[in-house]
Amino acid sequence: MKKHIFNIVLAFSLFGLFSCDEFLDVNSNPNSPIGDNLPLSAKLPGALVSLANQETLQLNQIGAFWGGYWGTNNEGINQFFDLKTYNGQNIRSQREGIPVWENGFNNILYFRLIQEEAESSGQLFYAGTSKIMQGMMFLRLVDMYNNIPFDDAAKGSDMINPKYEPGNIVYQKSIDLISSGIEDVKVSGIIPQNHGDVLFQGDKTLWVKFGNTLKLRALIRQSEKADAGYINSEIQKINAEGSGYLGAGEIAAVNPGYLNSNGKMNPFWASYYRDVQGNATANYQNIRPTIYLIQQLQDKNDPRLDRLYVSIDGAYNGVIFGNSEAGNPAYERNTTSAFRGPNENSNQATGIFHALNQSSVILGDFESLFLQAEAAQRGWISQSVEDLYNQAITQSFSYLKVPTTSLSGYLGQESVDISAASSPLQRIIEQKWLALNSISSLEAWNDYRRLGMPDFPRTAANGVTGRPLRLMYPETERGTNNAEVVAQGNDEMLTAKVWWMP
């Protein structure tokens, strides 16, 4: 039964698996079982694409609104209403909500079935990579919901009422799962030429570094709550493994061979920039940077501002998150700054929009370097905080297509130079926040929930108080496993904390 579910659902998300110009024909008949007909080299990319889509669209969007980056202009006042008003009831809705839980556990199921088949056939590269990705998604789901199933998860009809486990326990088990995946990858032998790895192209060293970076992210996340002995022990294990973390130029990004065709373009480009005909999407027309974001970039004389957004008569104009002044002409479409992309930049890549076939970023090298900088600042690793911090900013500039001539002057400013900072950790988080903007936005919301930094404004929507701390369990889970949901206690989005929050 699990395989049948996997075959049907995965058929909807498989595309671009064999080459940059050839797509699977299974999309024309999604109800036809495909598992027995496809090798693991075809199943892995389908699962990777599905996970990348959730990261770059669904999760990034939540983080962009709740992490201080995005608002909407007057014309977009009715778009993303639930996110702008922190409406947990509607977000968890089965019909019109945001299916973070459902998509997350579907992705875990995809990789779990790949793992099981790989282990039964002795293909350890696929077993290991699948374990790493499962660990990543379990960590994501804890970050969104707190307590979730782990041992009972992704068993299909074999376990229709999976037991929830405490979020801190799931964190530990997820880190262990990633460690197991790393070991499988390292001993997996020669990778076949047609490996189907659309993340690291069969590079086992990068897979191991990625796994270590995911573990570091998980340890950093619990910096304010977990036992220091546990964190130190896990850092020592990473050090003993010896491969280190993703470094400059080592980006975890999926690319199955995107094409200028409906359903086959880079999904972030197609959702937030241009469609197949080159028309601006509704999201592009209505999403705008917040006033707070524009101000932070301007206060630091940040050259990324010009790479990211279009100026209006020489000025950069943001919006109020929550549209509290929707009648004000200052917040209309033609008076606020849209994203800058190739169409607004003499057909040259810029900011977060490079090309319709750009890769989908899961974890950028700049994020990895900021994680390492924080770990060094906390005394967990021995590298130079300043070097890691400067490398992180350098790689952010590189990704956003900022001229390298701007870098030294920027790093030398008192508001940027970490050696002059009274709080180096705050300086790291400030720059990390600027680098994650609209790329891995969920991590910005996670950092705010962990540290309260940066202190970007909450929604200005009328009658809304507080900030969102987590998602409420979805209606789909309440309808099938309500006893476990009820057993978790308080499920109000604005009041219940995730375990790692102080």
Name residue 499's amino acid.
Answer: W
**DSSP strand E in 177-285: where?**
252-254
HEC string of 371-390?
HHHHHHHCCCCCCCHHHHHH
Q: CA–CA distance from 21 to each of 144, 271, 277 (Å)?
A: 36, 21, 19
C-alpha Rg value of the chain to the nearest Å = 22
Sole residue written with tokens 């002057």:
409
pLDDT at 192: 86
What value, to the nearest 5°, has the Cα angle with vertex 363 and ends 270 and 370? 130
pLDDT band at 155 (very low <50, low <70, confident <90, very high): confident
pTM: 0.94
- Give the tens place of pLDDT for each residue, 355-390: 999 999 999 999 999 999 999 999 999 999 999 999
* pLDDT of residue 29 exceeding 70: no
CA 63 – CA 453 distance, rounded (Å): 14
pLDDT at 35: 53
Average pLDDT over residues 338-353: 98
CA 351 – CA 438 distance, rounded (Å): 10
- Give the tens place of pLDDT for each residue, 307-328: 999 999 999 999 999 999 999 9
Domains delineated in the chain: 2-257+363-487 (1.25.40.390)
Q: CA–CA distance from 321 to each of 56, 73, 458, 461 (Å)?
A: 21, 9, 7, 8
28-42, 60-74, 210-224, 444-458: range with lowest mean pLDDT: 28-42
CA 214 – CA 365 distance, rounded (Å): 12
* pLDDT of residue 269 exceeding 90: yes
